[in-house]
A and B are shown apart, each in its own frame.
Chain A
Amino acid sequence: MTLDQREGEEIIHQKDRYQLLVDSIQDYAIFLLDTSGYIETWNKGAEKITGYTADEIIGKHLSALCPPSDIAHGKPDKQLLLAARTGSTEDEDWCVKKDGSRFWADEILTALFNKGGSLIGFAKITRDITDKKRSKHALIAANKLLKHQHIELEALNNVKDEFISLASHQLRTPATGIKQFLGLLLEGYAGNLTIQQSAYIQKAYESNERQIDLVNGLLRTAQVDAGKVNLDKSFVNLRTVIDGVVDGLRDVFDARAQSVTVIEKDNQSDIYIDEPRIRMVIENIIDNASKYTENGGAVTITLSETNMYAQVSIKDTGVGISEKDIKKVFEKFNRIPNKLSDTAGGTGLGLYWAKKIINLHKGTIGVKSAVDEGTEFIIKLPKGLSRA
């Protein structure tokens, strides 16, 4: 073969390869236009995307693929002009298929020049990105919906808290009436009662007290959920608080023949806490300790300190909590069924509220337990500002 022949074959080989390249690509429309914008070539990708076969489209103007609104604005020609001037344009726009339907296209129009610098035509590459656009729109819409739902949920949550608050306050009214009249009866202000009468009224009175407790619990919880709790802090000695709580529960422990021991491992300094609320937290836990321990059992309260924290441990010899139940201990309305839970009573809100209050103090509460091996609650509270 001569050199010329080899070169000739080389060129033909190259041309074939480029032909193969253009022809093989199915996801991009790649075609040539003449200087006026008439379509000169067509590839498989173009056919796939637009539906036009080469025979149908070659010789037609680029505007055959444009939506009428674009044509009315003279778009295809403007683009050709711009490409000729700047070298290439890239655009995202609607294009029209053979069947009249639209697709969203990413279009690159490149002006082609000969060695002399004259315009000899254009090359156009078009990609169908309808799916991408749809996904993007879907994402934006979903995002908007989520934001809207979030606002609605927050509003609903507020309404829920307000409703609980209102209903609870109103529920206190009849309970108040009952408390007063049963109290008057029990104290003999309406005459002497027989033993049986007194006993029945006492039961009614206690039932009403439980209702009042329930309502108070609901209100406390609604308040803390609504973020409306303002801690009323002062310097308090935890030992004093614990002693007060234990004294108050003395009858409860005696009735169950349970022993209570308070151990002060370190000398407790005063800490800066909301005393009434922390007292309620501790009372709740100590009361629980008694409730969930059999008669004759023991409750041990240990106080200790570090530089930054005061710690209270409340340990009982009671029924304990299983591994699977222990994770739910601080959840709302959680009442773990166990040997003593039928007699125990309670709302299932106490520990939920306790944890929230302790967290508001930037403290922590944890629990260790195993079935029949007793339970230990450990509360850590930051000491707060140092006492001058």
Chain B
Amino acid sequence: MRKLLIVEDDVSIREAFSIILRLNAEYEVTTAENGRVALDLCNQNTYDLILLDIMMPVMDGPTFLKEYSSIYPVDVTKIIIMSNLSSGSELSLVQDLGVDKTVLKSSITPERLMSIVAEALEQQGSTTREFKGNRSNSDDVGAIDNDERSVSAY
């Protein structure tokens, strides 16, 4: 059983991602609507993977990440940034805080989301996360998602 935490302020996206990931019986999915709620949840549970939005009220992605990584060991939980920002300072803020991947939300399909999560969880334990700018994959902001020819990530 893998524990997943979805941190996202938009209710439709939060529900959609939750439904999609719950299709996998192996995943126990929890949601939080902002960084503060997420932090409270992390104080009570350990998650295998956190899908983290950047722009959120109350406490945004970068702030959550800063607080989180100052309390918890870095290797235990995989963190995937899910954002609709295509460039800019907010994104660069999180790179230095050791995220595994950055995904452009508006460019992925449900299947793609499932495979991204599966990939990240597979790598768990076998690779340690590097702290500086570990962006090695095609769903990175700035790349074209192969499943969606028409949608580009700039």
Contact = CB atoms under 8 A, between A and B. Distances in A.
A212 interface: yes
A204 to B, nearest CB: 15
B106 A212 contact: yes
24 contacts: A169-B85, A174-B12, A176-B12, A176-B13, A176-B16, A176-B84, A179-B109, A180-B12, A180-B16, A183-B111, A187-B110, A187-B111, A189-B20, A189-B23, A209-B148, A209-B151, A213-B150, A215-B106, A216-B86, A216-B106, A216-B154, A223-B87, A276-B143, A277-B154
A346 to B, nearest CB: 11
A219 B105 CA distance: 15
Nearest to A208: B106
Interface string A105-132: 0000000000000000000000000000
B17 interface: yes
B18 to A, nearest CB: 10
Contacts of A140: none
B84 A189 contact: no
Interface residues of A, number: 32
B106 A175 contact: yes
Given A169-B85, A177-B10, A219 B154 contact: yes
Nearest to A178: B12
Nearest to A185: B110
Contacts of B10: 173-174, 176-177
Given A174-B12, A223-B87, A232-B142, A180 B20 contact: yes
B84 to A, nearest CB: 4
Contact of B110 (A178, A183, A220): A183
Nearest to A215: B106
B84 A216 contact: no
Contacts of A184: 16, 19-20, 110
Of the listed residues B10, B20, B23, B106, the one surrounded by the most CB atoms of chain A closer than 10 A to its CB is: B106
